[in-house]
Amino acid sequence: MSLPNLSAIAVRERSVTLFFLLLILAGGIYAFLSLGRAEDPNFTVRVMMVSAQWPGADVETLEAEVVDPIEKEIQNVSDIDAIKTTIRPGAAYLQVEFEDFVTSEALPDRFYEVRRRMQDIRASLPAGVRGPQVNEDFSDVYFSLMALTGESRSQRERLEVIESLRDRLERVDGVNKAQIFGEREERVFIQFDTAKLQRLGVTTDELLAQIRQFNALAPAGRIETQGATLRLRVDNTLSDPEEIARLPIRIGDQQIRLQDIAEVERGYQDPPQQLIRAHGEDALLLGVVMQSGANGQAFGERLATFVDEQQSQIPADMQLSVLTNQADAIDAAVNLFQWKFLIALLVVTGVSILAIGLKAGVVVGIAIPVTLGATFMVMLAMGMNLDRITLGALIIALGLLVDDAIITIEMMLVKMEEGVDRIQAASYAWSVTAAPMLVGTLVTVSGFVPIGFAKSMVGEYAGNIFWILAISLILSWLVAVIFTPYLGVKLMPAPKAGTETLPPTQKYPRLRRLITFCVNYKRSVSALTLLALVASIAGLAGPVQKQFFPASDRTEVTVTVDMPEGTSIQATNRTVEALEAIAAEADGVDSMSAYVGAGAPRYFISATPEQPSSAFAELLIVTADPAARDALIERFNRAIDQGEFTQARIRVERLRYGPPVTWPVSYRVLGEDPERVRRIAGRVRDQMAQSPYTVDPHLEWGGQVPSIHLDWDEAALVRKGFTPQRVAQQLNRLLDGEVVTELREGYPTVRLEAIGDRVPLDQARSVAGQEARIRALELRNPAGDAVPLTSVADIDIVFENPVLKRHNRATSLAVNADIQGIGTKGAHAAIWPEIEAMNADLPPGYEIQIAGSEEQSAQAQASIRALLPVMVALMLMLIMLQMRSFSGLFITLMTAPLGLIGAVIALLAFGQPFGFVATLGLIGLAGILMRNALILTQQVADNRQAGMEDREAIIEAAVQRARPVMLTAVAAGLAFVPLTMDSFWGPLAYVLIGGVLVGTVVTLLAVPAVYAWVHRT
């Protein structure tokens, strides 16, 4: 190399070298203790929510008048990937997703553009539309969810306490924001006695107008004086229900109090939009978002201290409990890493000692903490955290970063056995191995370039694998050429004078005979290698199970409840209460929370909060350990299988890593006409049902629900003093209640609501029974006369859509299913050909798209494949610059896929699935094996330059490099063993173990054969 001999300098300037060695170790310890801790890496969820409400509108009207204009406006924003819209009666929810290549720095600008456009369009929407509202915090991940319970206290009392807790919590170091969930809107109800109103000859509308006047906030003028300006203040404020009940009401010539004709009482929104319980009790939640880059372990300790302190300060009949806490997962991950790191360190050092001796093995062992110390310092400077990805990447690096140190020390040993003194041996190691080691290291790093720069969610999530490996491996080269020679000179004994050593050509006779055999039968060995590679490809495509991302090892259990669309929240709640009773009887339950009417806040990076729906509920249970988790899942599934919950579709699951995917197999039907889309989706469902691998294929929506339709007799309506609006107001007042005014009680706002004689509808009655009740209703005309509803309208039961969903402005209906007996990719491969054929026959404007896990997997894989040419180009340039021959380039590249042989063997032998994480290992494996081949072929070139014949040069190169190559392979393989016990990294570890061990053996045997074949030796 043109660089100065760093090894010779390090050996010569020993004091300086020792100083920097100690400095790196001390700095590494400081950096490790200072690095932030988190469960998952900082990750940008490129999603925002837009919502709008139009009370009284059905889904078709809302779609045409509100949703379509909003979607058109959003579609004009740059870099929109998808707009997923859910429309329910009176409300629409739009999930706006941006392209994966939008950076976290550019995302706020996109959010601002959407927010600005929503403000601009507000004036052009129909009268009565509320919004659109923009939620930019939809992507927040809550570090902890805490519950405040106390059934003996009212919600107002609990709300005062939890608001005080939130204010104090926001002052805790590391808190980004704190949010309250579960608050039911408080109301003050006025229920009129209709019979009294009729006797008095007054209408409800007249009374409400008088009540509003007592709460009207209006200026009363001002008086100018020689000094200050005097402003007149009128006491027009209603707040206390007793005060409202005593309001004077004028009816004709007489004056009475409101309490004489109505009852006034406090209550809550009924029916509620969402119910939240903790441990079976009504609860208010406090969600905490941690600041980016904060130390999760330290933050968790501060939160625990906060909870302990506040528990003693809140009223004794209230309890503050922690429902979810990322600190537990962070503690477990960091502690596990430390154990795995210790095991890997001992394994690598032990293998080195057994292979090359005690002192040489100790030198290799010292290289590990030195390299990691320098790596921690660079990580701290770059603002990285210790999280699931970086910790796993560091353990992977443990198996690779000793390669250069082993090669260096092994070369020193070889020269010292030849009688060269230690200092000259260190210098020789630089001149012979430094360049190929550096190029080999860069080739290995190049193998992880695709994941480091992939423009996708998984690329951002797992991209630090590349950066950690690049930092640690490049630093390992520096350690190998600077500190390893220094330590070798200091620790290894000098060669004894007169010691006889065997000539290099007489060492390892058995290995030499084996390699000679491979060279003699080069065509057969090459053919067998190719055959093994083809067989491994077939094995990967066939019997190896496939998956996108594995299940998490966290102890949460989620139970989702999907009732038929249109189900009331009370009916959904009864189902959830039955599920809670099952969990309450189980052992090992640490916390349990129920969310009825909407999903839980995002407590895990891969979880997606479900939008409001009275037919949906979620139960979140945290268990003590994996055994308790699995036992609880079995308990739930047993109850479901016994038919205890036939009224709902209930799924009991563990958390899963990776992008949020609800269903493993899903297909999206798009079109214009909802009825036609529903028919096509039904055919897709029938086709999926024929597969033995699907469980419960069903339509995401599609069923219609009954509604009571009023067909006006317009002449009778006008003749009796009504308008459609007046009738709707009266019916709404009778059934739901009418907002009169807003009371000024501070935050939150309390509405004063008139409910007339609330119709006592029995929820247990059938639709026909409820229809009969509605037919019996009476209206009040302006004169106060009772008018039967049936005299102004015909009443019929009609069916309507309770929900419509759209995807990029087209009607969208997903067909979903669980799977059994096979992985996601296998199930999709079995189902898709028939559906694809169906897709080809659809009319223009209609199509069936792949959704669910396969869609996310395809996007992730595409982002990786897009960078494979860059990876290959980098490798080609590096290899060519080192080898300077096309034959050397070809032979080195030929070894890239050989790791697949061992990887498939390992996956099949241990029953491991092949997914996205394993794919990363397979890509990186190509660089590892090419590195070995590069060093081997370079040794052949060096032997030929030293005067050996081609045949001898090939055989001797394989023998010379066998010990360091096999030593590094065994060390790496054993270092990866601790990762096999990790649910996230396990498949990748098996790929690397099998690929490195088997691939290295194949490389040592096949490369000489191919080299001899190419050079016709």
Please report the pLDDT score of residue 505 as a whole number. Answer: 56
Q: Which pair of structure tokens corresponds to residue 590?
A: 């640490």
**Side chain identity at residue 236, one-letter code:** N
How is domain 190-266 classified at the CATH fold level? 3.30.2090
Give SS3 for 722: coil
159-182 tens-digit pLDDT: 889 989 999 999 999 899 999 998
pLDDT at 761: 44
Residue 112 confidence (pLDDT): 93
Per residue in 691-714, pLDDT (tens digit) is: 999 998 999 988 888 888 888 888
Q: Is-contact 898 497, C-beta < 8 A?
A: no
Whole-number pLDDT of residue 640: 92
Average of pLDDT values for 110-134? Answer: 92
Closest CA to 646 of 598, 709, 580, 578: 578
pLDDT of residue 899: 87
Enumerate the CATH 3.30.70.1430 domain ranges in the chain, comma separated. 46-139
Structure tokens at 608: 């997606």
User: Which tokens belong to 407?
Assistant: 């090669």
pLDDT classification of 769: cutoffs 50, 70, 90:
low
Residue 436: pLDDT band with limits 50, 70, 90: confident
Strand partners, 277: 282, 594
Written as six digits, the tokens of 634 are 């079995």
Instruction: Indicate where the chain has its CATH 1.20.1640.10 domain(s).
Output: 1-34+357-497, 502-543+885-1016
Question: Which uninterrupted H or E stretch holds 496?
Answer: none
499 pLDDT above the threshold of 90:
no
pLDDT exceeds cutoff 90 at 592: yes
Task: Work out the pLDDT band at 760, boundaries 50, 70, 90.
Answer: very low
Looking at domain 502-543+885-1016, what is its CATH homologous superfamily? Multidrug efflux transporter AcrB transmembrane domain (1.20.1640.10)
Both tokens assigned to 699: 């339509």
d(CA 334, CA 328): 10
- Do residues 395 and 979 lie in contact, with contact meaning Cβ atoms separated by under 8 Å? yes
How crowded is residue 457: how many other Cβ atoms within 10 Å of its Cβ? Answer: 20
Q: Residue 1007: which of 284, 539, 515 has the closest Cα?
A: 515
Residue-wise pLDDT tens digits, 560-574: 999 988 888 999 999
Section 254-282 average pLDDT = 86
User: What pLDDT is recorded for position 24?
Assistant: 95
pLDDT digits (tens, 9 = 90+) for 923-961: 878 878 888 888 788 788 878 887 788 888 888 888 887
pLDDT of residue 976: 82
Q: What is the DSSP letter of 549?
A: S
According to the model, what pLDDT value does residue 88 have?
92
Distance CA 447, CA 870 (A): 10
- Quote the longest CA-to-CA distance of the chain: 131
Q: Comparing 479 with 228, which gets the higher pLDDT?
A: 479
Task: Tell me 185's DSSP state.
Answer: P
Percent of the chain with pLDDT over 70: 96
| Confidence check: pLDDT of 645 > 80 | yes
User: 494: which 2 tokens?
Assistant: 């000098």
Does the structure show a pLDDT above 90 at 145? yes
Which of 140-154, 177-191, 215-229, 458-472 is predicted with the least confidence, judged by mean pLDDT?
A: 215-229
Spatial distance between the Cα atoms of 918 and 987, rounded to a whole number of angstroms: 5
Phi, then psi, of 348 in degrees rounded to 5: -65, -45
**Chain mean pLDDT for the chain:** 85
Taking alpha carbons only, the member of 317, 336, 242, 320 closest to residue 288 is: 320
314 pLDDT above the threshold of 60? yes
- For residue 420, the model assigns a pLDDT of 77
Give me the pLDDT at residue 800, please: 85
CA distances from 663 to 199, 212, 640, 667, 824 (A): 61, 51, 19, 10, 10
Class of domain 1-34+357-497: mainly alpha
DSSP code per residue over 428-442: HHHHHHHHHHHHHHH
Which residue has tokens 């006695």? 193
DSSP annotation of 63 reads I
Task: Give the per-residue pLDDT at 111.
Answer: 93
Among 402-406, 564-568, 794-798, the least confident range: 402-406
pLDDT at 750: 81
Between residues 965 and 813, the one the model is more confident about:
813
Name the superfamily (CATH) of residues 46-139: Multidrug efflux transporter AcrB pore domain (3.30.70.1430)
Higher pLDDT, 754 or 482: 482
Q: Which residue has the higher pLDDT, 538 or 415?
A: 538
β-strand pairing of 186-192 with 750-754: parallel
